[in-house]
Amino acid sequence: MIFGDLINVSSTMKEVTENADAITSDFSWGDLVFVFLLIIAAYLIGLVVAHFMKIRFSHRMKDDQLALATMIVRVLIIFISLALALPGLFHLSMTLVFLLLVGCIIVIAMSSSSVVGNAAAGVGLLYEHTFSPGDFIQVGDVTGTVVAVHLLSILIRTPSGVLVRIPNNMLYSTTLSNFHAHVARRYSYDTGIRYEDDAGMAIGIIRKIIESHTFVLKNPAPEVFVSDIDPSSIRIRCRFWVPSVWANTQDDLSLRTEFILRIKEGLEAAGIEIPFPQTTVHLTEPVREETGKT
């Protein structure tokens, strides 16, 4: 079997050397024009196919995903048309063309494995539909709004205005969070009050503050409850949902500070204090004052 393959390869190599002379001798300007027209025809066919893909899938796919898919299809059409036409043009067999293509692919893959890896990851992202331009995402330590999704990388604009380029293969090797994937997001904040304060009253005040906010959703209803009893405070947790689109326009920091300030002012107006971390020490014997001299 192996011996048979070796014979095939040697015969193919022999074909290459024989065809080399034929290529140089039979090649004409007409052939060049033919190849040129072929590329133009493949390009036009690709445009038509892309147009039909846009009509057919525009309501099912996001814009960036559709753009990437149409680009891949158009490149494939050009490659296939060249692969079908070149053997006849240069008097080569399909086996030889196939071997040349495989050789080219292996050389390209070995010389630029990261590029191929990024491209493969780009196609994978297209299939997974994890995020789209405009979404607010977190990749590793980088948080921001997706500006563009390319075949090899994505561009993210951070809240501080920095444009960050992330290779696609990195997206597969790290955790990715999309804060805009669903229509609503839940926030959770904790507040501590003193032991002597009325926890029920504090819950009522916090609930009123949260419910009065325009973007806190009526349904699912906000939740406010005692979540823990710390050594120095009673912890009250509030959980509420906001529209993801609105949360996307404001970073988490501004949202958090807005609510914390309102809750602090509301509690203080009712005489409820947020305590410092403290420890109460009870002594079983009266303290004896030392009157001795040093």
Partner 1 sequence: MFGQHPGDFSYTEKDLTLLIDRSVPASRYERQCSADHIEKILAISQEAAIIISPVEPVNLPIEIAHHLELVFPRIVMQPGESMIVNLKFPVEIGVFLQTGSDTSVIDIFSLNPVKYSLYGKPVTGLITRYYESDIYHEPPKTDPHVEGVMTLTIRNRYTGAVEVSRAVFECHAMKLFYGSHVGMNATMEIISSAIAVTSFEGTPPRNCPNRGIDLYSSRKLPIIPEQGFYMESGVV
Q: Which is nearer to partner 1, 137 or 247 (CB)?
A: 247
Nearest approach in angstroms of CB 141 to partner 1 is 26
Q: Which is nearer to partner 1, 133 or 243 (CB)?
A: 243
Q: Which is nearer to partner 1, 165 or 186 (CB)?
A: 186
DSSP reduced 3-state for 59: coil
Q: Which is nearer to partner 1, 121 or 259 (CB)?
A: 259
**Distance, CA of 194 to CA of 161 (rounded, Å):** 41
Q: Which is nearer to partner 1, 65 or 244 (CB)?
A: 244
Q: Which is nearer to partner 1, 169 or 244 (CB)?
A: 244
**Distance, CA of 275 to CA of 95 (rounded, Å):** 80
* Residues making contact with partner 1 (CB under 8 A): 182-186, 214-215, 217-220, 241, 243, 245-246, 249
Q: Residue 117 carries which side chain, given as an amino acid letter?
A: G
Q: Identify any residues that bridge with 229 across adjacent strands, giving them in sequence order.
A: 234
Nearest approach in angstroms of CB 89 to partner 1 is 48
Q: Which is nearer to partner 1, 119 or 217 (CB)?
A: 217
Nearest approach in angstroms of CB 251 to partner 1 is 16
DSSP reduced 3-state for 270: coil
**Distance, CA of 59 to CA of 213 (rounded, Å):** 34
Tokens of 27: 């090649």
Nearest approach in angstroms of CB 56 to partner 1 is 17
Q: Which is nearer to partner 1, 218 or 293 (CB)?
A: 218
Nearest approach in angstroms of CB 92 to partner 1 is 52
Nearest approach in angstroms of CB 186 to partner 1 is 8
Q: Cα dist. 263→91, 220, 234, 269 in Å?
A: 81, 20, 15, 10
**Distance, CA of 152 to CA of 123 (rounded, Å):** 9
Nearest approach in angstroms of CB 215 to partner 1 is 6
Nearest approach in angstroms of CB 243 to partner 1 is 5
Q: Cα dist. 106→69, 103, 113, 116 in Å?
A: 24, 5, 10, 11
C-beta of residue 243 within 8 angstroms of C-beta of residue 215: yes
DSSP reduced 3-state for 151: coil
- Burial class of residue 223 in the structure, from the number of CB atoms within 10 Å of its CB (0-12 exposed, 13-18 middle, 19+ buried): middle
Query: β-strands 223-229, 234-243: how paired?
Result: antiparallel
